[in-house]
Amino acid sequence: MDLNYSAEDLAFRDEVRSYLEANLPQDLQHKVLNHKRMSKEDFVRWHKILARQGWVAPGWPVEYGGTGWTPTQQHIFEEECARAGTPAIMPFGVKMVAPVIMAFGNQAQKDYYLPRILSCDDWWCQGYSEPGSGSDLASLKTRAERVGDHYIVNGQKTWTTLAQHADMIFCLVRTEAGGRKQEGISFLLIDMKTPGITVRPIIMLDEDHEVNEVFFDNVKVPVQNLVGEENKGWTYAKYLLGHERTNIAAVGRAKRELQFLKRIATTQKKNGLPLIDDPVYANKVASLEIELMALEITVLRVISQDSGRPGPEASLLKIKGTEIQQRLTELMVEAAGSYAMPFDPDFLEGKNEHSITSEDDAAPLASYYFNYRKTSIYGGSNEIQKNIITQMILGL
């Protein structure tokens, strides 16, 4: 297996790099590279820029609006976007619910929802986790009872990322009780403007509003919003999670953040010398960089198989990717020391030009550190991923 880029791949990389240099708005780039908070409008603006180029959904089949790129080219594109500092394309529509609709939805659902996802006319959120049903997702209790040509949905979802912006939510609901808990679950597409839906913010330590509780009180959902077969939603949920876990590895973003870490470690001093020259700290950085290189090679090995559907190998990428991301934030905070401690929401939201400590690079780091504690939990906790590897790869 040749894991080196071909001449064609290198030419493609240059094309992507040139496009990003010419089309990425500088204000968005500044926010991303300096860990400032992003608004919904920021994400939508960049999504629409890429959509006009036809590059917003590289992993989609061409007939639905994809690019026709090889898996390696898709990897290069993600890496170049991270390197340039583009806003993320929100994964809930493009990378999560869209593959499920393509694989299991009916033609009417494909015709209606996929173009709206491409154009960002709909902002999606994910209705999976519930109080008491996180890693043990199959124990969910939100119910959907069929009454005529509608389902009546009652229950609660939690940790729902950016639901305050969402037009639509894809939801796992229980449509049949009894039997194995993985049975009797269905996959519904629900309009967030439907009467009976309440979104309650969960404000985090750094005063940011990223996650929410979502309540359903006798919410009427048309039967045509059921994806696939009733009571088969667990199969679709697992399919979706495979796509999510592959995306979580985020090698390109980790490589960018490694350079940011080195920048901090160069400006911070220890015994009068740059921290990066301290042998103990330098060893920590070097060890992490080696792990990141190994992860990238593993990602290239996985995508070179090009099966078109993430397998249990996605669990390997999810575990190691999130461990590296968390370690990066730990080393950033270690390098910045006490300058990383204060939360400065006004600076992070762009209201002030400089942070209260005047150490602008350090100001976002405590928030960044705490936020990345979640990466080893969402998308299926790393402990669950180890069980998947044990059973499906090692056969134990």
pLDDT digits (tens, 9 = 90+) for 279-309: 999 999 999 999 999 998 888 877 766 555 5
Distance CA 395, CA 68 (A): 35
pLDDT > 70: percent of the chain:
95
**Residue of 196, 199, 172 whose CA lies nearest to 186:** 172
Most confident of 34-43, 244-253, 353-362, 371-380: 34-43
| 69 pLDDT tier (thresholds 50, 70, 90) | very high
Give the model confidence (pLDDT) of 100-151 as tens digits. Answer: 999 999 999 999 999 999 999 999 999 999 998 887 888 999 999 999 999 9
Question: What pLDDT, on a 0 to 100 scale, did the predictor assign at position 188?
Answer: 98
Token pair in block for residue 349: 């939201």
Cα–Cα distance for residue pair 206/37, rounded to 1 Å: 11
Lowest mean pLDDT among 2-6, 61-65, 253-257: 2-6
Average pLDDT across the chain, whole number:
91
pLDDT value of residue 3:
59
Q: Within the chain, which residue ranges are assigned CATH 1.10.540.10?
A: 7-89
DSSP letters along 102-164, please? HHH--HHHHHHHHHHHHHTSS-EEEE--BTTBSSSGGG---EEEEETTEEEEEEEE-S-TTGG
The mean pLDDT of 297-322, rounded to a whole number, is 77
Confidence of residue 242 (pLDDT cuts 50, 70, 90): low
- Which of 218-222, 270-274, 360-364 has the least mean pLDDT? 270-274
CATH 2.40.110.10 domain span(s) along the chain: 123-231
> Which has the closest alpha carbon to 128: 113, 117, 142?
142
**pLDDT at residue 358 above 80?**
yes
pLDDT at 72 over 50: yes
Please give the Cα distance from 229 to 232 (Å, whole number).
6
Catalytic residue from among 244, 313, 334, 359: 244
Terminal Cα-to-Cα distance of the chain (whole angstroms): 28
What are residue 358's phi and psi, to 5 degrees? 65, 5
What does the pLDDT read at residue 236? 92
DSSP string, 200-230: EEEE-TTS-EEEEEEEEEEEEEEGGGEESST
Report helix, strand or coil for 281: helix
Q: Is 244 a catalytic residue?
A: yes
Q: Which of 31-35, 95-99, 242-246 has the lowest mean pLDDT?
A: 242-246
Q: Read off the pTM.
A: 0.91
Q: Where in the chain is the domain with CATH 1.20.140.10?
A: 249-392
SS3 helix, strand, coil % of the chain, rounded to 5?
55, 15, 30
CATH number of 7-89: 1.10.540.10
123-231 belongs to which homologous superfamily? Butyryl-CoA Dehydrogenase, subunit A, domain 2 (2.40.110.10)
Q: Which amino acid is at 41?
A: E
Four-residue CA torsion sign, 100, 89, 222, 379: positive
Please compute the mean of the pLDDT values over residues 312-331 and round it to a whole number.
90
249-392: CATH superfamily: Butyryl-CoA Dehydrogenase, subunit A, domain 3 (1.20.140.10)
Q: What is the pLDDT of residue 95?
A: 92
